[in-house]
Structure 1
Amino acid sequence: MTTRPEDADHYADHSAEFDAFYAATAKRLVATVYAMTGDLAEAEDAVQEAYVRAWQRWERLTREGDPLPWVRTVASRLAISAWRRTRSRLRAQFRHGAAADVPELSADRVALVEALRELPAQQRQVVVLHHLLDLPVDQVARETGASNGAVRTRLSRARKALGKRLTDTTAFTAEGAAHHG
């Protein structure tokens, strides 16, 4: 089978378009999925797999509009699925602390990450999409396959849990500093 010159040009156009899309979106998508899962390696793997799947459907995805929501949804689902399979391993890591080569994070960031990890996966996902990515409720609903009402309920419950957890952590940190100061 021979390749026609116009086929090669078409492939090169799609390849350049995909490469530009990847360069513009991959870093933020990894950060998004990491915020959902709390596991950077899982986030990177899921995002990479989502882009592979997007490349296989690139022409259809771009014909339908912005491919980013599709890629984000696939990456999120892959990561959450992997997260569920490795939940016991993650619990052990949480109990025993982070690996020694993880860079030092501020106390506020550590508290936020720990609080997010304690949320159920569906609540964590909607918090990340809505509050960290500033997506409207209806788009979060489309990407998660939930109704607008379910997204609002999850957001409300998550905010309540995060508020309590972060208030408790702040009080504990301040109390510890007062006793040790």
Structure 2
Amino acid sequence: MTTRSEEAERGQGADFDAFYAATAKRLVATVYAMTGDLAEAEDAVQEAYVRAWQRWERLTWEGDPLPWVRTVASRLAISTWRRTRNRVRAQFKHGPGDDVPELSADRVALVEALRQLPPQQRQVVVLHHLLDLPVEQVARETGASNGAVRTRLSRARKVLGERLTDTTAFRTEGAANHG
């Protein structure tokens, strides 16, 4: 015979499992876009879901738990990224491992350009432009003011625009010279 608390716990477990299945893959992609390191993104996301499970009842009572999980995963990843900056640079210098699937030239250029942004600018670009979150929600998730988010977005867009335009021009010139 099961008790009410056991039934409630099973219900929460099923809710959490469904939430995880529906959100984990996109969250890994989001954090990967912020960090440029798939393994770090996966680790940060996994840790964020562990922390969410520990607070699951409160998070679901407060509403949608995804912004909380995304914020925790982003902060964990950025913290790790700062500590392991040299390792990431070495990986970038020597290329991806054999188990990484081939990426399009545009995607590689975008990830390379994102990596060159300061972490705070990279985070707001990913949240606003890749996840289509409004500035107000980005501000809440990052702990910054709306004005700070807009400033970071403006500066990041300027740098990305220059770097991505340079990359496109370089590829076009290279193709013309080899054609």
Give the TM-score, by structure 2 length.
0.97
Displacement, 1:4? Answer: 6.4
User: 2:143 is matched with which residue?
Assistant: 145
Displacement, 1:70? Answer: 0.3
User: 1:16 is matched with which residue?
Assistant: 14
User: 2:112 is matched with which residue?
Assistant: 114
Displacement, 1:101? Answer: 3.0
User: 1:154 is matched with which residue?
Assistant: 152
Q: 1:169 to 1:12 in 2, by over 3 A?
A: same
Displacement, 1:92? Answer: 1.2
Task: Please give the alpha-carbon distance, in whole angstroms, between the structure 2 residues aligned to 1:21 and 1:96.
Answer: 37
Which residue among 56, 62, 65 is the counterpart of 1:58? 56
The amino acid across from 2:27 in the alignment is L
Give CA-to-partner distance per residue, 1:121-165, whole Å, 9 cap, x none. 100000000000000000000000000000000000000000000
Task: Please give the alpha-carbon distance, in whole angstroms, between the structure 1 residues aligned to 2:107 and 2:152.
Answer: 22
Task: Please give the alpha-carbon distance, in whole angstroms, between the structure 2 residues aligned to 1:10 and 1:79.
Answer: 33
Secondary structure of the equivalent of 1:134?
A: coil
Please, which runs of 5 or more residues in structure 1 have no aligned partner?
Answer: none
The amino acid across from 1:36 in the alignment is M
Q: How many residues align?
A: 179
Task: Please give the alpha-carbon distance, in whole angstroms, between the structure 1 residues aligned to 2:100 and 2:70.
Answer: 25
Which residue among 40, 43, 48 is the counterpart of 2:41? 43
Task: Please give the alpha-carbon distance, in whole angstroms, between the structure 2 residues aligned to 1:150 and 1:44.
Answer: 28
Secondary structure of the equivalent of 2:169?
A: helix
Residues 72-111 of structure 1: pairs in structure 2 closer than 5 A: 72-111=70-109
Please, which runs of 5 or more residues in structure 2 have no aligned partner?
Answer: none
